[in-house]
C-alpha cells in the first residue's frame, strides 16, 4: 500500500510528473517470520513548502458542483480532485521558555483539529495511562487486521503515544466507519435513532437530514487532509546554545505514521475503485532562519514577550504578533471587534452618562491609576463604521517607544470629559443594590472631593421578569435611574454602565434610563437610542414585556415633566429623598396593556441589526413591519427566498419594475465587461442558475423591493450567481442615500451571506474579515451561513480578483471555533 502524490485514476496528475524525486513509503505485508520495518517518510525543505503553498493558494478552488454534497458530511466516497492541494500539520507546540501558541506556519493544523477526539470518553480515557495505552494499541491492531496490514511495534507505540498526548483516536474526523463504530456522537447528534449494526449508508442518510448537516464547518480540516496530495508535518523548536535546532524528527515521524493510518482507514469508505494516494513529507531545516518569512504565520516567541514593560501598556509583543496572524484564534479577534464596536458612548447631552463594555472599564481604571493621559484621544466613530473596527487594521509593529499608538489601534481608549465616579456593572448573577446602598452612593458622590470611584452591580437584561417585580424591586430600578440622573446634574462627575460585551446585560437599564430621562414611550426610546445616540443594544422578549409595563411609571417620574421638579430638589434638610411608589401605582403597572401597534415582543432584538450606515440585516418579522422600517428610514428591501405578506397579490399600490431570470449576464443593471466576465466564470465553476428561481423588483408604499424566489437554506441552492444583481440593487440604495434591509426567514444564513458579500465589496476586505464584521454587529443573533454559501463566497472572492489569503479549511476552523463558544 503506497501513499504518493496524486490519484491513480487521474492521468492528469500522473502526466504532470509531480514529486518525481519523492520516495514512496509502504506498509508492507509480512509473513509470520518477518519483522515489519518502520515506516519511512521523505523530508522536504522549507523553500519547497513555501513554493507549494504559493501554488496551492493561487490555484482556483474546485467548482461547487464538484465539492458538494461531499463536503457536507462524513466521508462515504472518495474526495473530489483538488489539484495541488496541500495540508500543513504541526506535530507539537513550542517547548518551555517559548510561547506554545507561537512557531506556527501558515494554514497550519493541529492533530486534534482533524482527528477524532476522545477527551473524557470512558471507553478510552482510563485513570491508568497504561490501560489507556493498551486499549488504544488493541484498537490499532484490530483495525490494521481489518485491512490486512501490519506495522512495526515501534510505529504502533509511536501512534499510541501521540493518541494519548493529544487525546485523539487514529481516525480522521470524517471517517464514517469509525464514527459509526467508535464515535460517541455526543456533540453532533448526527442520528438519534441510529442503532448499532446499521450500515454506513443508513448512518449517512440519517445524518444528512439533521439540522446541522449543512453547517459542518468542524470537519472541513479533515476534509482538506483527505483531498491533499501533499501533507507536510513540521515542528518548530527553539535553538540550543550552539545555535542548532533540536531534532523534531521523532514526533513528526509518529504523527506522519498516524496520519498515514488514518488515511488508509478512511479509504475503507470509498470503494475498491478509488485508491487515493498521498505524499506525506517531514519538514527539514537546520535553523529557523532557513524558513521563508512568507511561510511563517506566527514566529517562535519567547515567554518574555508576554511581559508589558510599563503598567499603562495595554498590548504586549505577543499580542501584536498574534493579532497579525488571522489564520488562528478568531475568538480573540471577535472579542477585540466587540470591544471596539460596543465601546463606551455617551447617551446624554452633558457627557455625563455612558454605556460601554468591560474593556472600557478595565482600560479606564488602568490609565487612571497609572496617571496616563487620554486627553489626545479622538472621539470614536459609530459602531457600524469601518473606522470602529479591527478588520481594516494592517499588520502592526511592536514599538516600545510608542506603545500608545498600537494600544489605540487595537482598543478604543475612553475619552470621557467627566471623570467616571460611578461604575455600574450589569451581570447575570448580580443582585440589585438596596435603596440604602443607592443613597449611600449618592450622598458620597455629592460630597466627594477625592478621586475615589464607587462600584455597584445591577441585574442583567433578560433576568428581570414580570413575576419578579414586587414594589421594592421596582423602587430600586426607578431610584437607580434617579441616582444616575442626580449625579449627572448635581456634580461634575460621570457614570459608566458596563457589561462584558457592552450590550447583552446593560440594554435593560439603558432603555429604562432613556424612558425615564427623556419621557419617551418604549418605542420612541428604542428609536432615539438607535438613530440619535447610535448605541447598540439587544432586548430579550422578557425585557420588552417588563419595560412595556413599566414605561408609564418611569415617565410619570421623568425629570422632563415640570411637575416633577419637587422630586429632584433638596428637601428641608438639604438632602434628596428616594422616589416612592404607592400601592395604586404598583397595581397599575400590571393593569397596563401595551397597544397592539407598539407591541415589539415578537421582534428579536427587537430592531434589525445595522451592519453599515446603509445596510440592515434582519428577519422576515422585521420585513413584515413596514411601519417600523419607515421609522428607521429603511426604504429598500432585499427579500432572500421569502415573501412579504403585505406585497403578496400585487394590489393596486404595487408596481412591478422588472422580472428576470437569475442568469447574471442577462441582468440589465450589469453593463461593464468585468461583471459579465465574472458571470461567465460563475456559470463555468458550477454556479448554474436554477430554472425555478426568479428575481422580481417591485415598488409599493414607498419601498423598493428586490425579491428572490425559491432560494432555500438547504445546502444545495446556490446564491453567488445572484450576487451581482443583489449588490447592484443595494448600491442603488446607497447612492441615493437610502437604507436597505436584507432579510430571509431568521436573518442568519441567506441574508447574512448577502451582507457579508456587501461588506467584502464595500469595505474592500476578504471573506473572514467581512464575516467577523457582520457577525459582531448582528449582536446576540449568531449568523450561520451554510457551508455552500461560505464556499461560494470564497470562490466569488477569487472571481472578483481578490487574493485568497486564507484557505478553505482554515476559514471553516475559525467559524467552528466561534460557533463552539456559543452553540
Active site residue 346: no
Of 262, 282, 230, which is closest to residue 91 (Cα–Cα)? 282
Task: Please tell me the distance from the alpha carbon of residue 706 to that of residue 657, in angstroms, as a whole number.
Answer: 10
* Element holding 707 (H helix, E strand): strand 703-709
Tell me 605's DSSP state. Answer: B
Q: What is the 3-state secondary structure (H, E, C) of 413-474?
A: CCCCCCEEEEEEEEECCCCCCCHHHHHHHHHHHHCCCCCCCEEEEEECCCCCCHHHCCHHHH
Of 312, 325, 421, which is closest to residue 101 (Cα–Cα)? 325
**Bond from prior residue into 775 cis (ω within 30 degrees of 0):** no
* Element holding 144 (H helix, E strand): helix 129-146
Beta strands in 81-216 (DSSP E): 86-90, 104-105, 108-109, 115-117, 168-172
Q: Grid coordinates standing for 219?
A: 470537519
Task: Please tell me the distance from the alpha carbon of residue 19 to that of residue 231, in angstroms, as a whole number.
Answer: 12
* Structural contact between residues 497 and 343, judged by C-beta atoms closer than 8 angstroms: no
Q: Going by C-beta distance under 8 Å and a sequence separation of 6 or more, which residues neighbour residue 621?
A: 602, 603, 604
* Structural contact between residues 253 and 162, judged by C-beta atoms closer than 8 angstroms: no
Q: Grid coordinates standing for 393?
A: 487594521
Q: Going by C-beta distance under 8 Å and a sequence separation of 6 or more, which residues neighbour residue 619?
A: 603, 604, 608, 743, 744, 745, 746, 747
The answer for 710, left when phi > 0, alpha when psi is -120 to 50, beta otherwise, is left
Task: Please tell me the distance from the alpha carbon of residue 605 to that of residue 476, in angstroms, as a whole number.
Answer: 25
Q: How many CA atoms lie within 13 A of 464 on its CB side?
A: 30
Question: Which is catalytic among the residues 39, 159, 426, 744?
Answer: 744
Task: Please tell me the distance from the alpha carbon of residue 564 to that of residue 562, in angstroms, as a whole number.
Answer: 5
Q: Going by C-beta distance under 8 Å and a sequence separation of 6 or more, which residues neighbour residue 522?
A: 511, 515, 544, 547, 548, 551, 594, 598, 600
* Structural contact between residues 298 and 325, judged by C-beta atoms closer than 8 angstroms: yes
* Structural contact between residues 504 and 538, judged by C-beta atoms closer than 8 angstroms: yes
Q: How far out from the chain centre does Cα 534 lie?
A: 23
Task: Supply the residues annotated as catalytic.
Answer: 744
Amino acid at each position: 500500500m503506497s501513499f504518493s502524490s496524486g490519484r491513480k485514476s487521474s492521468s492528469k496528475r500522473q502526466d504532470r510528473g509531480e514529486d518525481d524525486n519523492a520516495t514512496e513509503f509502504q506498509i508492507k505485508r509480512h509473513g509470520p517470520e518477518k519483522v515489519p520495518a518502520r515506516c519511512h517518510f521523505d523530508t522536504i525543505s522549507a523553500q519547497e513548502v513555501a513554493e507549494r503553498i504559493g501554488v496551492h493558494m493561487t490555484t482556483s478552488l474546485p467548482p461547487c458542483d464538484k465539492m458538494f454534497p461531499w463536503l457536507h458530511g462524513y466521508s462515504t466516497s472518495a474526495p473530489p480532485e483538488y489539484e495541488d492541494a496541500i495540508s500543513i500539520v504541526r506535530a507539537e507546540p513550542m517547548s518551555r521558555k517559548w510561547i506554545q501558541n507561537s512557531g506556527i506556519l501558515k494554514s497550519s493544523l493541529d492533530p486534534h483539529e482533524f482527528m477524532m477526539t476522545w477527551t473524557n470518553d470512558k471507553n478510552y480515557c482510563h485513570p491508568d495511562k497504561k490501560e489507556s495505552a493498551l486499549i488504544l494499541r488493541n484498537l490499532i491492531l484490530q483495525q490494521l487486521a481489518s485491512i490486512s496490514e501490519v506495522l512495526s511495534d515501534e510505529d504502533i507505540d509511536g501512534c499510541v503515544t501521540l493518541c494519548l498526548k493529544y487525546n485523539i483516536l487514529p481516525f480522521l474526523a470524517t471517517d464514517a466507519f469509525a464514527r459509526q463504530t467508535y464515535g460517541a456522537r455526543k456533540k453532533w447528534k448526527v442520528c438519534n435513532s441510529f442503532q448499532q449494526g446499521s450500515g454506513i449508508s443508513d448512518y449517512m442518510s440519517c445524518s444528512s437530514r439533521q439540522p446541522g448537516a449543512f453547517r459542518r464547518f468542524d470537519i472541513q480540516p479533515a476534509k482538506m487532509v483527505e483531498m491533499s496530495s501533499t501533507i507536510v508535518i513540521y515542528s518548530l523548536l527553539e535553538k540550543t546554545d550552539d545555535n542548532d535546532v533540536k531534532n523534531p524528527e521523532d514526533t513528526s515521524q509518529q504523527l506522519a505514521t498516524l496520519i498515514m493510518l488514518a488515511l488508509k482507514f478512511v479509504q475503507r469508505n470509498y470503494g475498491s475503485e478509488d485508491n487515493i494516494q498521498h505524499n506525506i513529507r517531514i519538514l527539514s531545516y537546520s535553523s529557523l532562519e532557513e524558513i521563508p518569512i512568507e511561510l511563517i504565520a506566527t514566529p517562535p516567541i519567547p515567554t518574555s514577550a508576554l511581559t508589558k514593560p510599563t503598567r499603562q501598556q495595554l498590548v504586549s509583543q505577543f499580542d501584536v504578533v498574534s493579532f497579525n496572524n488571522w489564520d488562528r484564534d478568531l475568538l480573540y479577534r471577535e472579542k477585540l471587534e466587540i470591544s471596539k464596536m460596543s465601546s463606551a458612548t455617551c447617551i446624554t447631552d452633558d457627557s455625563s452618562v455612558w454605556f460601554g463594555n468591560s474593556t472600557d472599564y478595565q482600560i479606564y481604571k488602568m490609565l487612571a491609576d497609572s496617571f496616563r493621559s487620554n486627553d489626545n484621544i479622538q472621539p470614536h466613530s459609530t459602531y457600524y463604521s469601518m473606522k470602529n473596527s479591527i478588520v481594516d487594521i494592517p499588520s502592526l509593529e511592536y514599538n516600545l517607544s510608542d506603545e500608545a499608538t498600537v494600544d489605540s489601534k487595537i482598543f478604543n481608549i475612553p475619552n470621557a470629559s467627566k471623570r467616571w465616579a460611578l461604575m455600574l456593572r450589569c451581570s447575570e448573577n448580580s443582585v440589585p443594590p438596596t435603596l440604602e446602598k443607592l443613597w449611600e452612593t449618592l450622598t458620597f458622590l455629592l460630597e466627594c472631593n477625592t478621586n475615589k470611584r464607587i462600584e455597584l452591580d445591577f441585574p442583567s437584561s433578560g433576568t428581570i421578569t414580570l413575576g419578579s417585580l414586587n414594589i421594592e424591586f421596582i423602587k430600586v430600578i426607578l431610584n437607580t435611574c434617579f441616582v444616575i440622573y442626580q449625579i449627572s446634574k448635581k456634580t461634575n462627575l460621570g457614570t459608566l454602565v458596563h457589561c462584558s460585551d457592552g450590550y447583552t446585560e446593560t440594554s435593560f437599564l439603558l432603555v429604562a434610563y432613556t424612558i425615564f430621562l427623556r419621557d419617551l414611550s418604549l418605542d420612541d426610546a428604542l428609536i432615539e437610542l438607535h438613530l440619535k445616540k447610535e448605541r447598540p443594544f439587544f432586548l430579550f422578549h422578557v425585557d420588552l414585556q417588563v419595560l412595556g409595563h413599566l414605561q408609564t411609571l418611569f415617565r410619570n417620574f421623568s425629570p422632563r415633566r415640570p411637575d416633577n421638579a419637587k422630586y429632584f430638589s433638596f428637601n428641608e434638610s438639604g438632602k434628596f429623598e428616594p422616589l416612592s411608589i404607592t400601592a395604586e401605582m404598583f397595581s397599575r403597572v400590571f393593569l397596563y396593556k401595551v397597544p397592539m401597534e407598539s407591541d415589539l415582543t415578537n421582534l428579536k432584538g427587537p430592531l434589525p441589526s445595522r451592519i453599515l450606515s446603509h445596510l440592515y440585516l434582519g428577519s422576515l418579522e422585521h420585513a413584515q413591519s413596514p411601519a417600523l422600517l419607515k421609522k428607521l428610514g429603511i426604504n429598500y428591501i432585499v427579500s432572500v427566498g421569502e415573501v412579504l405578506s403585505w406585497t403578496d397579490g400585487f394590489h393596486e399600490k404595487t408596481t412591478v419594475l422588472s422580472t428576470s431570470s437569475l442568469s447574471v449576464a442577462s441582468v440589465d443593471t450589469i453593463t461593464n465587461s468585468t461583471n459579465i466576465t465574472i458571470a461567465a466564470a460563475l456559470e463555468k465553476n458550477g454556479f448554474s442558475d436554477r430554472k425555478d428561481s426568479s428575481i422580481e423588483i417591485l415598488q409599493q408604499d414607498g419601498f423598493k423591493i428586490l425579491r428572490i424566489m425559491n432560494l432555500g437554506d438547504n445546502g444545495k441552492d446556490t446564491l453567488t450567481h445572484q450576487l451581482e444583481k443583489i449588490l447592484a440593487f443595494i448600491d442603488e440604495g446607497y447612492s441615493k442615500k437610502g437604507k436597505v434591509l436584507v432579510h430571509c426567514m431568521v436573518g442568519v444564513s441567506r441574508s447574512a451571506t448577502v451582507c457579508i458579500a456587501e461588506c467584502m465589496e464595500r469595505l474592500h476586505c476578504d471573506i473572514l474579515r467581512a464575516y467577523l464584521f457582520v457577525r459582531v454587529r448582528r449582536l446576540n443573533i449568531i449568523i450561520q451561513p451554510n457551508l455552500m454559501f461560505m464556499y461560494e463566497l470564497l470562490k466569488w472572492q477569487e472571481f472578483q480578483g481578490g487574493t485568497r489569503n486564507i484557505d478553505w479549511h482554515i476559514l471553516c476552523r475559525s467559524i467552528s471555533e466561534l460557533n463552539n463558544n456559543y452553540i
